[in-house]
Structure 1
């Protein structure tokens, strides 16, 4: 068995404010930094170690990875960053307050946008999409106007199958630091969860989740390290 450790970024400024962050590059709060460091201490104390780290291209994940690894004295580990591990693209909901959006559109509609497997949020405007394509991180790719959970699974799948699963199957001890929806996508693929199961899956900020994989890269069990 090989362990793959998944870690959702620590609390971000927009987590604290209750806003849809998606692909907007918001920073960690002081609490988020502490959560990341505490995750590293927990992993170190539980005798976990790593050979490689994967993360998204958003700073709340990359900074969480750094602080976690710093607490483990492992900041020198090679780290692979990919937009495919980004949070779900929330389209026109980016930056909106979740409670205010529920008041404006109704709680049921917002629940569908957030938790339905195949419902996309309202699309980002062409001008809004251009703000992402102007970013060097996304210059050579098609930026979505919005994504459902299903879309995020489809986006994560090639990276998981091409890089993470083969690496872990060969014995590499990997840490993946990403986001709520992209990590749910990985769990769905690795654990074979149904759409209804995955949308009910909660992943806490800064709490490591261990997935035990067999030599074929199939999940045998998973459990969280709550500190």
Structure 2
């Protein structure tokens, strides 16, 4: 594969083995809930950055996850699941050419329009659960995109900041559960932490430190910016979360949308498409452009980017997508 890999150059279908780690179940008030316990440090191992620890949990209802490997049950394998990856729309700091990283910056008007357009492109693809980063630009993108979906389900953010938050946000109506889609936020899907570069103008930073040095910080795989994360470090957390939390959903037959960031998504695509560290640094992802993968028989097959709701060929890639679109057509007749 050529060293320069672009978003559009990878459209051809590829198959790769998806490695799913089984998750642990914790009983809480009579309901099974998926939890993982760990700690997070957003900088390099020796940077001295503050670390935060806690648990992240994924709701089981209405999206059932497979039980863990110790139970003796084999996770249900669906014949086919859809995985949609979307980089957030343009943010206010994208517009100002600033290093954004983990700073929580909302979308611009253009970013809102990009998110809406992304939603139109995927409006005929089934979605059962949404994952976003903990940053508002990714969450805005997910919400705006889902408003365009023809099924008209309501995204419901799952709050797991504490046991009380989890209990208080429960939905008790089965009918409401059927009409909603859970949205699970995770810091592991956040953008790469740019350390001391965050908030600085990219051109001014190049003038100050030198163009080659800034390019090395931005585009090398292993070298982090001062007190920040390298792409390798970002990949460690993003891919681990993808394997632990998202792959089990796909194995259970759920259709998943992930709204995240350039570097966290590059990391996941690196894993899905088996890119080398040299190939991934040349991978460019446009804001607001969805990418579709099909998860089938434990493998990920790239289907490229849907070009619009009127493009029938996009949904004819598989029998399942074609049937789902026909179901949506029947609903409005």
Short-chain TM bin: 0.7 to 0.9
Q: Among residues 76, 98, 106, which one is paired with 2:210 in the alignment? A: 106
Indicate the residue corresponding to 1:5 in structure 2: 84
Contact 2:82–2:126 (CA<8 Å) still a contact in 1? no
Indicate the residue corresponding to 2:134 in structure 1: 57
Unaligned runs of 5+ in 1: 124-145
Q: How far apart are the structure 1 equivalents of 2:216 and 2:303? A: 27
Q: Deviation digits for residues 19-68 of structure 1, max 9, x if unmatched?
A: 01001001100110111011111111xx2120000000000001111111
Indicate the residue corresponding to 1:48 in structure 2: 125
Say whether residues 1:66 and 2:66 are aligned partners.
Answer: no
Q: Which has the higher helix share?
A: 1
Q: How far apart are the structure 1 equivalents of 2:86 and 2:102? A: 18
Unaligned runs of 5+ in 2: 1-79, 156-180, 309-333
Q: Which has the higher strand share?
A: 2
Indicate the residue corresponding to 2:197 in structure 1: 93
Contact 1:208–1:226 (CA<8 Å) still a contact in 2? no
Q: Deviation digits for residues 114-134 of structure 1, max 9, x if unmatched?
A: 1100010011xxxxxxxxxxx
Determine helix, strand or coil for the equivalent of 1:118.
Answer: coil
**Bigger Rg, which one:** 2
TM-score (norm 2): 0.59
Contact 2:129–2:182 (CA<8 Å) still a contact in 1? yes
Q: Among residues 155, 158, 165, which one is paired with 2:237 in the alignment? A: 155
Two-structure CA RMSD over aligned residues (Å): 1.2
TM-aligned CA deviation for residue 192 of structure 1: 1.2
Q: What pairs up with 1:109-128 in 2 under 5 angstroms?
A: 109-123=213-227
Indicate the residue corresponding to 1:177 in structure 2: 259
Indicate the residue corresponding to 2:272 in structure 1: 190
Indicate the residue corresponding to 1:34 in structure 2: 113
TM-aligned CA deviation for residue 215 of structure 1: 2.3
Q: How far apart are the structure 2 equivalents of 1:12 and 1:74? A: 26
TM-score (norm 1): 0.86
Contact 1:57–1:81 (CA<8 Å) still a contact in 2? yes
Q: Deviation digits for residues 143-180 of structure 1, max 9, x if unmatched?
A: xxx10000011011221111111111221100000000
Determine helix, strand or coil for the equivalent of 1:78.
Answer: strand
Indicate the residue corresponding to 2:291 in structure 1: 209
